[in-house]
C-alpha cells in the first residue's frame, strides 16, 4: 500500500481549463508561414523601386527638356507683327490714312518673298477687335475708351529665327500702309 502524498489533493493528471500559458505551438490558423516580416519587407522594397524609378524618369525628363530648350526655341522661330495704318494712325507714318487694299496686297507679297519667312497670316480689324476684347476683358474702362476702328489690322509673320525677324522689321519699316513693325519676345 502506498502512502498518501502531500499533494494528493491536487489533480495533476488533467491540464487546467482555458488558454494555455506561453507562446503558441505553431502559426495561427489562416496565415501560413507565420511572421508578417517578409510581406512588409517585400512591400517596402516595391515602394523603394517605384520611387527610384519615378525619380530616374523625372530626372531624365527635366534633363532632356533643359538640354533641348534652345533647340526648341530655334524650331519655334519668332513672330513679327506688321501693324497696318488705320484712319486714327499718326499722319507722320500714315499720311494718307488707312492702308488700302492695294497696299495690303503689296505688303503680303513683300512678306512672303522674304527669306526665312515660314508663314504670313492676315488679321482683320474685326478679328483684332475680338482678340483685344478677350485679352482685356477684365478692364472695362480700357475697352470703353477704345473704338473698333482704333485697332489696326495686321499681318502676323512667323519667321525661322531672330535674324529673320530683324530682316522682316528692316524690310517693312517705312513701307506705305505700315504703321509699326513689332517683334514678339522669344518664348
pLDDT of residue 155: 97
Q: pLDDT tens digits, residue range 141-178? A: 998 999 998 899 999 999 999 999 999 999 999 999 99
Predicted model pTM: 0.59
Domains of the chain by residue range: 77-183
Assigned C-alpha cell, 123 = 488679321
* Percent of the chain scoring above 90 in pLDDT: 48
- Condensed to tens digits (0 to 9), the pLDDT of residues 77-101 reads 899 999 999 998 888 888 878 999 9
| pLDDT computed for residue 96 by the predictor | 75
Torsion sign, CA atoms 123, 129, 132, 133: negative
Look at residue 8 and tell me whether its pLDDT is greater than 70.
Answer: no
**Residues 109-132: tens digit of each pLDDT:** 999 999 999 999 999 999 999 999
Contacts of 153 (CB under 8 A, 6+ apart): 83, 84, 86, 99, 104, 122, 123, 124, 125, 127, 128
Tell me if 128 sits within 8 A of 151, measured CB to CB.
yes
Q: What is the pLDDT of residue 5?
A: 59
pLDDT value of residue 3: 60
Residue 102 in this model has a pLDDT that exceeds 90: yes
Question: Which residue's C-alpha cell is 507565420?
Answer: 34
Grid coordinates in use for 143?
475697352
Give the single-character DSSP code of 81.
Answer: E
Q: Is 34 left (phi over 0), alpha (psi -120 to 50) or beta?
A: left
pLDDT digits (tens, 9 = 90+) for 10-38: 555 565 565 556 565 655 555 555 667 77
- Average pLDDT of the segment spanning 36-64: 64
Pick the CATH number of 77-183 from 3.30.70.3040, 3.40.50.300, 3.90.1150.10, 3.20.10.10: 3.30.70.3040
The proportion of the chain whose per-residue pLDDT surpasses 70, expressed as a percent, equals 64
CA 181 to chain centre: 29
pLDDT of residue 156: 96
Amino acid at each position: 500500500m502506498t502512502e498518501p502524498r502531500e499533494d494528493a489533493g491536487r489533480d495533476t493528471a488533467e491540464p487546467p481549463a482555458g488558454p494555455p500559458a506561453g507562446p503558441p505551438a505553431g502559426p495561427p490558423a489562416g496565415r501560413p508561414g507565420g511572421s508578417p516580416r517578409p510581406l512588409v519587407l517585400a512591400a517596402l522594397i516595391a515602394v523603394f523601386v517605384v520611387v527610384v524609378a519615378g525619380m530616374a524618369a523625372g530626372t531624365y525628363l527635366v534633363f532632356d527638356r533643359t538640354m533641348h530648350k534652345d533647340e526648341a526655341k530655334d524650331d519655334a522661330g519668332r513672330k513679327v507683327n506688321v501693324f497696318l495704318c488705320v484712319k486714327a494712325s499718326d499722319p507722320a507714318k500714315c499720311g494718307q490714312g488707312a492702308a488700302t487694299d492695294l497696299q495690303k496686297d503689296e505688303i503680303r507679297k513683300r512678306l512672303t518673298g522674304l527669306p526665312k519667312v515660314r508663314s504670313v497670316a492676315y488679321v482683320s480689324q474685326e478679328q483684332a477687335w475680338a482678340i483685344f476684347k478677350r485679352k482685356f476683358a477684365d478692364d472695362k474702362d480700357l475697352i470703353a475708351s477704345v473704338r473698333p476702328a482704333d485697332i489696326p489690322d495686321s499681318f502676323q509673320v512667323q519667321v525661322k529665327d531672330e535674324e529673320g525677324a530683324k530682316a522682316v522689321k528692316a524690310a517693312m519699316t517705312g513701307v506705305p500702309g505700315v504703321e509699326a513693325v513689332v517683334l514678339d519676345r522669344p518664348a
